[in-house]
Amino acid sequence: MKNAVAVACFALNGLLAASAGAQQYPTRNITMLVPYAAGGPTDTVARVVAQAMTKPLGQSVIVENRPSAGGILAPEQVKNSKPDGYNILIHHIGMATTPALYRQLRFNPLSDFDYIGLINDVPMTVIARGNFPAKDFKEFLDYIKKNKDKVSYANAGIGAASHLCGMLFMSAIQTDVLTVPYKGTAPAMNDLLGGTVDFMCDQTTNTTAQIKGGKVKVFGVTSLKRVPS
């Protein structure tokens, strides 16, 4: 898993229903559901996109957070909504991976939605609490390996990009540590800043400001090239 992506989708047939009444659509506000907590990277992208959509559509796009660990409740809500184009979902790589990770998922990412398009493609960043006792990647790995029973890794629940990134990391270094699931990486970041969890892997969208502000330590990015920011 190299990057985390954001896509937007309608409940199935949303586009068809919308195009049948193309002259009228949209005649009222559109709700954009975010599967994670406010203030996190998915929420940040949603708010930028919703704002940008408002002018050309002539209607407000209201962002609504429906956070749950793993982000599995928002897709279910959009699936169960009227397929008229007024309930849209923004999600990421989790739409593709959750079917392999949950035994009982109450939506099918392929057959229950119409996909509108890819919005962005952003690398993940491996970060640790500001006082993590390592100054480079080698020391970071050494510390984790030596203290694997004490170290904890925050994420947004099973299937979230932060979870997959951490799993990949642990598998690469062949060391398992305690994973702490949150309803999004906004609350996970708060605990990382407070030092109650040790490290996290999250979209650059959410990590850049904290890195630049010296609040967290950064040890790597998941892109092949160095991230300009």
Contact footprint for ligand ASP (CB under 6 A): 36-37, 40-43, 92, 156, 160-162, 184-186, 202-203
In DSSP notation, 173-206 reads HT---EEEE-SSHHHHHHHHHHTSS-EEEEEHHH
Nearest distance from residue 27's CB to ligand ASP, in Å?
Answer: 30
CB-wise, 49 or 160, nearer to ligand ASP? 160
Nearest distance from residue 3's CB to ligand ASP, in Å?
Answer: 12
CB-wise, 4 or 17, nearer to ligand ASP? 4
Tokens of 223: 């892109």
CA–CA gap between residue 148 and residue 112 (Å, rounded): 41
In DSSP notation, 73-116 reads HHHHHHHTS-SSSSEEEEE-THHHHHHHH-SS-SS-TTTSEEEE
CA–CA gap between residue 206 and residue 213 (Å, rounded): 12
- What is the number of other CB atoms lying within 10 angstroms of the CB of residue 57? 13
Nearest distance from residue 156's CB to ligand ASP, in Å?
Answer: 4
Nearest distance from residue 24's CB to ligand ASP, in Å?
Answer: 33
CB-wise, 18 or 192, nearer to ligand ASP? 192
Nearest distance from residue 46's CB to ligand ASP, in Å?
Answer: 9
In DSSP notation, 25-37 reads --SS-EEEEESS-
Tokens of 178: 């305690």
Nearest distance from residue 22's CB to ligand ASP, in Å?
Answer: 32
CB-wise, 61 or 90, nearer to ligand ASP? 90
CB-wise, 54 or 190, nearer to ligand ASP? 190
CB-wise, 63 or 160, nearer to ligand ASP? 160
Strand 199-203 relative to strand 113-129, pairing: antiparallel
